[in-house]
Structure 1
């Protein structure tokens, strides 16, 4: 199995290596690194891997033989028609890996071992391991935060940057709090089986319209539910320390002004791709980030939820290929951001220049700042807060359960 050792950590009296599991797909001089989000594994990128390379069959176990074998344009995927970054011939090679804390990669026991900066260095180590000088980097959700850090740490290694369903981390990780979100958070924390987890994941990641769409004799929800249960059962539920570590990475993520300046001025193009109905990463935060990265960034606003890459794979894949092709044609950042982009719902023309978010500090208020500072100090996430509430209710219910027979006895006496 393909592993990359990226670091070492102390476990008791011994030092253990931190290993990342990765897969490679397709062949070609155009390199694409895919960075997955919170609790996801490399398999989450299947539809994008298929769109970029034309196949989801890994090539890492047979790389030497694969390199010698000729490929047709159809086998090379959508990237076959474009010139390569290094001028070595057509085709795209993709690498997707499991972040530390999930899948077949190392599960580190301490939260301090997880941050977007640490995980960005993991991604850079994977590129070094593969011998890639540069790559087009696409990240989803937490993976997009990691990709931003990677672009700030090593901008010379980035061909282009694609950010799917991204936020700025920290307080922006808090979803819009309403009845639906509170219910989902409660059920997520209580989920102990793949079946329970699958129900929550579907409602969190997709729009209701997409799930309720009829496909032959059943709904898409029913089909996806079976797939989710199968996949979760096969890979197992993510360990609590891995999940808490990755949540910590999201919660402590922040891009400084200097890092934003580095990304914006590095010369590569940026696409911010987002689903309008995302209840996890709110669209307003993605628009704000795109605006702060002008003139290098273009906002691509699609109908869909947090997994817009699954709901609208063709449109997402087209947006990714547009970014790769624009990079190959040496398009200037201001030309890239000023070009209109079609949205999936109305076909209306929009551009990153028209996307602005006015942050009104007076409306945010001192209370929000105080809450942020408090939570940052104790490194608590939204789910932790909900967990405390849930545990409080459970504790009160147990007290009532214990006290009820005592009260009855007292009344009878």
Structure 2
């Protein structure tokens, strides 16, 4: 099976020695390649998922889902469409190594894994497509080695940190609780469906059965085959999402690098909210195009044809050297809030602390909303519990009340 050893190609740099020290020489990244051709595409998957989750995109881009290693003739086999795709398991999941220490997971460290894989494949340049956490990693790759990126596609992405909080409602919190409690493939499959897809999609009929029932069987089989993700792997990847942040300097690098960006999102995503994806796209103006589709977090499956078309559009526009102003569909006039933030940044350069206070207030507001939702849920469940414990008056015993 193909593996790429990471953390051994270069010595730690003085500036990033503290972070580079976390790269374990024993860590191996499992990968597979599909199709053949001059167009190179690196697919980076998200939290708790393996490379198999890119199935619809691999099929759409290359015309096959059979890995090159399984094709007669070995590497570079398959029918192909002029596109050579590589998909891999991030550290912490699937067949890749699972570091135990949570500090060995960050989007920067995992971006180094992806760059090491590009080196291993001998790809000087590639289109970098990421989903969810994988899109956060893709952003870091683009900021770290912009000269190796042909285009950047960010599917169902946020800016990380507090933006990873899902929608604060009873349904979403219930799903989060079920996810953390899932111990069997059956439990995990049931909660994954509600996490990945819109309810409308799950309730549609496929023949005589609802899509939920069909997908449930597929998910149970897939999870049973690959196994449940370890706790340390999940905690590590979650830490990478929570600590992710794109600085203004990194955003500036991406905007000035000369490649185009497509931000693709399911508007009914309960994990990565559309609002934050749009904010990221606006930060990347004018090189970014926003594509919001009718779907959930796994819009790459729910609306695979539309997502694949958006990816082909990005590849074609890149090959045609389309200018950013022709590519973007975002308005030129910045929003009031963004203009305000620009003004605040100007103030901070003059020594003002207004920008810092504004950011703190924004985060505090989200935290308060989160705590308020938890309090409401606890209050509701507490009332139900008290009702269940309240003594029931037995007939013919008036003395019970008198005492």
Q: 1:13-412 to 2 correspondence within 5 Å?
A: 17-60=26-69, 65=74, 67=76, 75-77=79-81, 91-337=82-328, 351-353=329-331, 359=337, 366=360, 368-370=362-364
Rounded to whole Å, the distance in 1 between the matches of 2:333 and 2:225 is: 42
The separation in 1 between residues aligned to 2:334 and 2:216, in whole angstroms, is: 37
1:6 corresponds in structure 2 to: 6
Q: Distance in 1 between matches of 2:74 and 2:217?
A: 36
Structure having the higher Rg:
2
Distance in 1 of aligned mates of 2:30 and 2:336: 41
Mark the runs of 5 or more structure 2 residues left unpaired by the alignment.
9-23, 342-353, 390-403
State the alpha-carbon separation in 1 of the partners of residues 296 and 66 from structure 2. Answer: 27
Structure 1 residue ranges without an equivalent (≥5): 9-14, 78-90, 338-350, 376-381, 402-413
Q: What is the root-mean-square deviation in Å for CA atoms of aligned residues?
A: 3.0
| 1:29 shift after superposition | 1.0
Separation in structure 1 between the aligned mates of residue 282 and residue 197 of structure 2, nearest angstrom? 26
Distance in 1 (alpha carbons) for counterparts of 2:146 and 2:66: 30
Residue matched to 1:11: none
Residues 367 and 65 of structure 1: CA distance in aligned 2, closer, same or farther (over 3 Å): closer
Deviation of 1:130 after TM superposition, in Å, equals 0.2
Q: In the alignment, is the contact (CA less than 8 A) between 1:288 and 1:356 conserved in 2?
A: no
Query: Contact between 2:185 and 2:220, CA under 8 Å: does it hold in 1?
Result: yes
Q: Secondary structure at the match of 1:17?
A: coil
Residue pair 1:299, 1:355 contacting (<8 A) in 2 also: no
Q: Per-residue CA shift, 1:155-181, capped at 9, x if unaligned?
A: 000000000000000111111110011
The Cα shift of 1:353 comes to: 2.4
User: Does structure 2 conserve the Cα–Cα contact (< 8 Å) formed by 1:287 and 1:357?
Assistant: no
- What is the number of residues matched between the two proteins? 350
Offset at residue 217 of structure 1 (A): 1.0
Note if contact 1:136-1:158 (Cα within 8 Å) is conserved in structure 2. yes
CA distance in 2, matches of 1:356, 1:98: 38
Cα distance, 1:367–1:291 mapped onto 2, change above 3 Å: closer
Distance 1:190 1:58 in 2: 34
Q: Tell me the SS of whatever aligns to 1:168.
A: coil
Query: How many angstroms apart in 2 are the aligned matches of 1:108 and 1:331?
Result: 42
Preserved contact between residue 2 and residue 61 of structure 1 (Cα < 8 Å): no
TM-score norm. by structure 1 comes to: 0.78
Kindly indicate whether the alpha-carbon contact (under 8 Å) linking 1:284 and 1:357 is maintained by their aligned counterparts in 2: no
Task: Please give the alpha-carbon distance, in whole angstroms, between the structure 2 residues aligned to 1:291 and 1:237.
Answer: 37
